[in-house]
Amino acid sequence: MIVVPIVFAVLFALALVMPVSDLGGLPAVYAAYGIGDAVPWPLLVLAVVLPPVLYVVALLLGRGRPPFARALLFTVALATSFALYFGLVALVGAIQPPLAL
Amino acid sequence: MARPEDDDEDAEALTWAGDEETGRAAPRLRDLTAETAVGEPAEADDEPEAPGSRGRRRVATVAFAVPYLALTIGWIFAVQLSDSPAQLLAAILWQFGEFLAMLAAPLWFAATLTLTRDARPRARVLALAVGFVMLLPWPVILRFLAALQLAGSLS
């Protein structure tokens, strides 16, 4: 019964790699291009916060359900987490000011 | 018409020598009548469904099927628009994410249908509406808006 949440915890940790990498690396890139003031902090933080939140939501919704239903909920939450991340990446790109070299 | 001696022959045919010693003397046929008798009260205990509830659930499902199909197509296009990172690990994660993002809408739809089978129609509609809002393909929408803006500035 505990196997499903553990397996999906690993997968959600993988989903966190790219947002954490963006949070650590993007400000330096923006600073290098002279647009350090325009770092979209709320979006970067939101991208990091979303996977754990979705994991907890799936965990809570799956309480008392059979393993298949729990796995289905976790899979949907993981897929949603990636979809939202790509949406945020697109939004960051859309609001990025012109680069000054 | 079954005779009592036929039943005895059936029972004998369905037992093995030595079953009495091992405690398996009972005929090896499933007692279907007993299973039915056990199954019936469980169905009888189920709460009666409100009239028209099933129909409303079906209408909600059909009404959301087309928007979810559009979401899926939108995400397939969105994935084509993005460039994966150059590093190997990042590229693998990125493509795994893109694969799941394309499947997000059909997965949400299927999960809602599966998990709200016995729920009220309102719960199904709410789950499908939340999924629709959360899974909007922003990369495509933003690209479309940028193209519209560009077209507007050109004209």
Query: Is the pLDDT reported for residue B41 higher than 80?
Result: no
Highest mean pLDDT among A34-48, B9-23, B24-38: A34-48
Domain boundaries defined on chain B: 4-45, 53-154
A51-62 tens-digit pLDDT? 999 999 999 999
The answer as to whether A61 is a domain residue is: yes
Residue B30: the pLDDT is: 45
Query: Is the pLDDT reported for residue B68 higher than 60?
Result: yes
- Give the number of other Cβ atoms within 10 Å of residue A44's Cβ: 19
The answer as to whether A42 is a domain residue is: yes
The mean per-residue pLDDT over the stretch B40-57 comes to 57
**Two tokens, residue B140:** 């495509």
Asked if residue B110 lies in contact with residue B72, where contact means CB atoms within 8 angstroms, the answer is no
Of all residues in chain B, the one with the smallest CA distance to A50 is B134
Nearest one of A76, A34, A73, A81 to B93, comparing CA atoms: A81
Best of B80, B100, B143 to disrupt the A interface by mutation (most A CBs within 10 Å)?
Answer: B100
- The pTM for the full model equals 0.77
The answer as to whether A85 is a domain residue is: yes
Question: What number is the ipTM of this complex?
Answer: 0.90
Of all residues in chain B, the one with the smallest CA distance to A72 is B111
The answer as to whether A100 is a domain residue is: no
Picking from A66-75, B14-23, B89-98, which range would have the lowest pLDDT averaged per residue?
B14-23
The mean per-residue pLDDT over the stretch A60-86 comes to 95
- Chain A residues touching B115 at Cβ < 8 A: 65, 69, 72-73
Q: Tell me how close the Cα of B83 comes to any Cα of chain A, in angstroms.
A: 11
The secondary structure of B63-100 as a DSSP string is: HHHHHHHHHHHHHHHHHHHSPPPSSHHHHHHHHHHHHH
Q: Which ranges in chain A belong to alpha helices (H)?
A: 3-32, 41-61, 67-95
Is any Cβ of chain B less than 8 angstroms from the Cβ of A85? Answer: yes
The HSE-up count of residue A80 (CA atoms within 13 Å, CB side) is: 24
Residue B35: the pLDDT is: 42
Is any Cβ of chain A less than 8 angstroms from the Cβ of B130? Answer: no
Is any Cβ of chain A less than 8 angstroms from the Cβ of B142? Answer: yes
Across the interface, which of A78, A82, A90 has its CB nearest the CB of B138?
A: A90
The mean per-residue pLDDT over the stretch B137-145 comes to 94
The answer as to whether A101 is a domain residue is: no
d(CA B16, CA B50): 52
Q: Do B100 and A82 touch (CB under 8 A)?
A: yes
Q: How far is CA A21 from CA A35, A47, A101, B10, B40, in A?
A: 19, 11, 23, 72, 57
Is any Cβ of chain A less than 8 angstroms from the Cβ of B93? Answer: yes
Of residues B26 and A42, more confidence is placed in A42
Query: Is the pLDDT reported for residue A42 higher than 60?
Result: yes
Q: Do A82 and B98 touch (CB under 8 A)?
A: yes
**Per the structure, how many domains does chain A have?**
1
Residue B82: the pLDDT is: 82
Query: Is the pLDDT reported for residue A1 higher than 80?
Result: no
d(CA B75, CA B135): 9
The answer as to whether A56 is a domain residue is: yes
Query: Is the pLDDT reported for residue B46 higher than 60?
Result: no
Query: Is the pLDDT reported for residue B31 higher than 50?
Result: no
Is any Cβ of chain B less than 8 angstroms from the Cβ of A87? Answer: yes
The mean per-residue pLDDT over the stretch B75-93 comes to 89
